[in-house]
Chain A
């Protein structure tokens, strides 16, 4: 490796082709690779401060005969040191083979420390004791409304189009704001330019297709689509039970990427991604427990157009700008009640990374959201959190038809500073404004990593930061919401260490604490809105816990990990009230998974999970609602009872056949192998005098075929 004509470092690869140059000063280097039997070559590589550059070289074998051989791929593996205290990055090979996820990469997140198990068939992401809507899900910086299709079995972006999934359970950098939980940042990958490729996959849940390839020398494309056919086999099953289902759940999603190299240093990309879920249920008769019932229809969809320009500038600077516009809609109709929300978000994110010195770089960015929402609703009056169900048959509904506008600009600055060779400090600050609350927020954050030892590496890590989250629009925008609300506020603290044991084994231990203030909760004050509810920033809470991750990184044959989270998440609705368990509090969360390549195309894996049961509010009896001819429950103490523990074993077997130019894969993914009847809440009789646990999903075997060009 040389710089300015002067050799600065030399390295010899390991037996599997891996080499590392450590502690390089930022700048551009010429890398020359030589190996007996291969054609030598040289390339330029740019190294930025605080980052590790990963490259894959494919030297050509010197052909012994004129017919030649296939190129041999030598992969240099490595990860960027995280800018945040904790960032979990999963490799593609792992993502697609994790048992119990049906090969869905985004669902793999549920196996990481800090992630609670959502209630059955609810595609929620519950991170470090936060509410699901506290965690932001982004596709290359554009926030999307949902991560999963109906039921939580499948995510809205298929694994095949992903480049990376970065998951920050908390204490993340200033690039992300308006959230108090975690962040999931999904990166769409670049289309391949080495020829046309395709994929066709079918299993019991859905069918998908993808095609990609070059258009000329500087442009490439990727198009993918997926449709479920759960309705084809589930509808007859449900009809046989007398449910009266007219349409079982159907989901679709599609992605189109067009990428163009404007110059050697600048790439422009246009992406479209969208998803739709639809469900309709026709009931033969109204429910006697609330006789206003009728047909139920639910539709969720979103689409976004995203333009992104990435430039490498002279001097090691980088500039990325992303603009997106789209729509997301939520539509639910039940008898004569309805809720229709269509939102049109326009977002701008620009991020400039400047090299200040050999030991320091800075990041400046703008992160702005505009949103215009059309809202029509006719729904029962809002109930308080945890309030017992009450028939709404004869309760006057709230009827609204209004437009809401949100404007939430933000800007951030981050310094990536290495005051000592093994110490990295990342102080940053973010400034946000929310027009709906008319509130400016300044969020200082700092993270640090100290490599105590190098080989094997031991790192002490820690950080703290302030996080603000504006209220939900329905809480803050009149006439439905309460005027004068402030933003939710949280302070994150974390401290831990990482320790490597050889090349493949790593232990990470981290303690965390979140102090929650100014939380928006329903107020006891007389209704100040036409929704029949009032909101106030009187809530507070705390989350404390520890996360352990013992991981064996993929060595080409085996990967696996043990993730355990111990946590306590509590809330109070008003000052002076005692703390109570939060709705999504789960004390123990254990995931143990492993996958092994047997050879000859076979791979087997298993996953076991154990999770403390979720809290629920018990009902102590029922009182009559004599307008509905039904009963309303009498609630006990809020979230004072818990479901029984959840545990489940999943297994997965993959077999791949390779043929010239393509390969065929088959897999069997069995969820809940021993058919555990996991408790997923309580169901009650008509007057709430008797109850029994609701069982979750039974054993679910999924068989699939996958062909790849």
Chain B
């Protein structure tokens, strides 16, 4: 069993070392095109049901976005890459669903009535439909982007994968279970409620290049917090008989500045935030995205003007 133990330990701790110790830009800083939240009205969908997918993205260069949607039914694994593999297999078998391309950031999908019945019993606990979403600040075309069979062309060139967005949202398939999307009840600014339309004003710290919150000195540092609604953290026993208690995390994004914590657990949502000198004179958008670990997503945003 040592092999299993080593594998589990490596998998569980691997994310802790992504970006660890290096001076990479924080993932919370949005540069270019970024999808910050994808909400499905029913994260746990039933066979025969139609679900609506609503993707929220921004492009810091103000370019119009083109969206592409395609689904993968019951991939072999629950990784995003497994969805790509399933689509490739379906394409090879001549059953590829059409890629829906257009300016709309929403998409509807109807779960087949026999979606669960057609799967082996062992595969049902993790059965899902993956919605592959392409978010392009240009035109989506067939092509090859770092191994993916598509391209996003803008300004006359095919963009690199980190210049546009490709990702997967899962719609889990269940006979009876439901999952509610988490709701952010309010956002606090230094402990006081921050209404959605209110634009705060701050002074930036002295650096335009610093990537650590604790080293960005000389400006105003404020504590922001996305407060979850009551009962957001669902608990119970699922239809498979497994007891569960949701983990809910708040992730932060901003078009400039540094968060003390890019993510927090829902019970301890406070994080510091400071703007950097390079944002002087600009209005920065802060996004707060609540995610539960069963596919539920809720979000809100606020704006800050940097002096």
Instruction: State the A residues within 8 Å of B (CB).
Output: 133, 145-146, 242, 283-294, 296, 298, 330, 332, 334-337, 339, 341, 343, 373, 375, 377, 379-383, 387-396, 399, 472-475, 524, 526-530, 532, 620-632, 634-636, 683-687, 689-690, 692, 694
Contact = CB atoms under 8 A, between A and B. Distances in A.
A382 B13 contact: no
B19 A685 contact: yes
B147 interface: yes
Given A289-B18, A332-B9, A621-B161, A381 B126 contact: yes
Interface string B157-174: 000111001111110100
B42 interface: no
A179 to B, nearest CB: 13
A636 to B, nearest CB: 8
Interface stretch (B61-69, B216-224, B258-266): B258-266
24 contacts: A283-B16, A287-B15, A287-B263, A291-B291, A292-B293, A294-B247, A298-B9, A330-B2, A336-B245, A383-B11, A388-B79, A392-B12, A394-B170, A396-B126, A472-B2, A474-B3, A621-B147, A621-B161, A623-B80, A623-B166, A624-B167, A627-B170, A689-B160, A694-B21
Contacts of A694: 17, 21
Given A474-B4, A625-B80, 9 more contacts: A285-B263, A289-B15, A377-B8, A393-B249, A394-B292, A394-B295, A527-B123, A621-B160, A626-B169
A332 B5 contact: yes
A contact face: mostly helix, strand, loop, or mixed: loop
Given A334-B13, A394-B294, A632 B80 contact: yes
A387 B161 CA distance: 19
Given A292-B247, A621-B162, A634-B147, A687 B1 contact: no
Given A290-B15, A296-B12, A627 B126 contact: no
Nearest to B171: A627
Given A284-B261, A683-B22, A686-B24, A635 B123 contact: no
For A292, A375, A528, A636, the residue with the greatest tally of chain B CB atoms inside 10 Å of its CB is A292
B12 A334 contact: yes
Nearest to B21: A683
A584 B238 CA distance: 42
A618 to B, nearest CB: 11
Contact of A383 (B77, B160, B293): B77
A133 B18 contact: no
Counting from the closest, the 7 A-B pairs by CB-CB distance are A624-B167, A686-B27, A291-B249, A290-B15, A689-B162, A685-B24, A288-B262
Contacts of A683: 17-22
Nearest to A391: B15
Give the interface size bracket for B toward A: 35 or more
Contacts of A336: 245, 247
B190 to A, nearest CB: 19
A396 B125 contact: yes
Given A627-B170, A628-B291, A621 B263 contact: no
Contacts of B81: 387-388, 390, 623, 632, 634-635
A257 to B, nearest CB: 26
Interface string B45-71: 000000000010000000000000000
B289 interface: yes
B35 interface: yes
Contacts of A341: 1, 4-5
B17 A623 contact: no
B247 A330 contact: no
A627 B291 CA distance: 7
A286 B18 contact: no
B contact face: mostly helix, strand, loop, or mixed: mixed
A392 B11 contact: yes
Contact of B265 (A285, A289, A290, A472): A285
B167 A620 contact: no
A634 B148 contact: yes
A634 B146 contact: yes
B12 A343 contact: no
A285 B270 CA distance: 10
Contact of A526 (B15, B123, B168): B123
Contacts of A337: 12
Contact of B11 (A380, A473, A635): A380
Contacts of B166: 623-624
For A336, A381, A627, the residue with the greatest tally of chain B CB atoms inside 10 Å of its CB is A627
Contacts of B247: 291-292, 294, 335-336, 393
Contact of A685 (B14, B16, B27): B27
Contacts of B114: none
A622 B15 CA distance: 14
A430 B51 CA distance: 61
B274 interface: no
Contacts of A334: 12-13
A136 B202 CA distance: 63
Nearest to B238: A396
A330 B1 contact: yes
Nearest to A333: B12
Given A286-B249, A527-B76, A626-B38, A396 B168 contact: no
Contacts of B165: 624
B263 A286 contact: yes
B269 to A, nearest CB: 10
A293 B11 CA distance: 12
B229 interface: no
A583 B84 CA distance: 25
Contacts of A627: 169-170, 291, 295, 297
B286 interface: no
B16 A287 contact: yes
B198 interface: no
A598 to B, nearest CB: 41
B255 interface: no
